[in-house]
C-alpha cells in the first residue's frame, strides 16, 4: 500500500506534476492511503471553504491509518534514536514513519533524504505505473 505524505497530497490538491498524476493514478487503483498525522496536517492547513472542501474530498477517498499504541511507542523510540545521533526528523515525521512501518506501507514523499534516515522504511518516488 502506498502511504502518501502531506507534501505529495498538497501537490495533488494544487495539480502540481508529477505528484498530482501519481496520486490520481494510485487513487484510481485504490492503492493509496495516508496517516492520521497527515490528515491532521491537511485539515489544519485548509484555509477557506474551497480548500476545506478539497481536503475533505481527498481525505474521504483515502484510507487513513490511525496512530495506535504500537506505532506511538515505535515512533517514540525512533525519534529518540535519530535525535541521539543528530539525525532527527521531527515528531510528526517520526509518527508518520512509525505508522508506515507498522502498516508495512511504502511512503510516497518528496522528502526522500529526510526519511531515508529511518531504517526499514520503504520509500517511493517513482513515476506513474
Q: What is the pLDDT of residues 16-58, one digit of tens each?
A: 988 888 899 889 898 899 999 999 999 999 999 999 999 999 9
Instruction: Record the pTM.
Output: 0.92
Q: What is the pLDDT of residues 67-105, one digit of tens each?
A: 999 999 999 999 999 999 999 999 999 999 999 999 999
pLDDT at position 22 is 87
Cell digits of residue 89: 526528523
Domains of the chain, by residue range, sit at 2-66+105-124
Q: What is the pLDDT of residues 107-129, one digit of tens each?
A: 999 999 899 999 999 998 654 43
The secondary structure element, H or E, covering residue 3 is strand 2-4
What's the DSSP call for residue 122? E
CA distances from 18 to 22, 24, 101, 103, 128 (A): 6, 10, 25, 26, 8
Rounded CA separation 27/5 (Å): 14
Which CATH topology does 2-66+105-124 take?
Rossmann fold (3.40.50)
Amino acid at each position: 500500500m502506498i502511504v502518501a505524505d502531506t507534501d505529495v497530497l498538497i501537490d495533488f490538491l494544487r495539480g502540481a506534476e508529477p505528484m498530482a498524476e501519481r496520486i490520481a493514478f494510485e487513487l484510481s487503483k485504490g492503492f493509496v492511503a495516508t496517516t492520521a498525522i497527515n490528515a491532521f496536517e491537511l485539515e489544519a492547513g485548509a484555509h477557506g471553504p474551497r480548500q476545506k472542501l478539497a481536503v475533505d474530498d481527498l481525505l474521504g477517498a483515502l484510507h487513513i491509518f490511525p496512530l495506535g499504541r504500537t506505532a506511538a511507542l515505535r515512533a517514540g523510540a525512533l525519534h529518540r534514536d535519530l535525535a541521539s545521533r543528530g539525525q532527527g526528523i521531527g515528531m510528526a515525521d517520526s509518527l508518520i514513519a512509525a505508522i508506515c512501518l507498522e502498516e508495512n506501507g511504502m511512503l510516497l514523499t518528496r522528502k526522500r533524504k529526510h526519511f531515508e534516515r529511518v531504517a526499514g522504511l520503504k520509500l517511493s518516488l517513482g513515476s506513474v505505473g
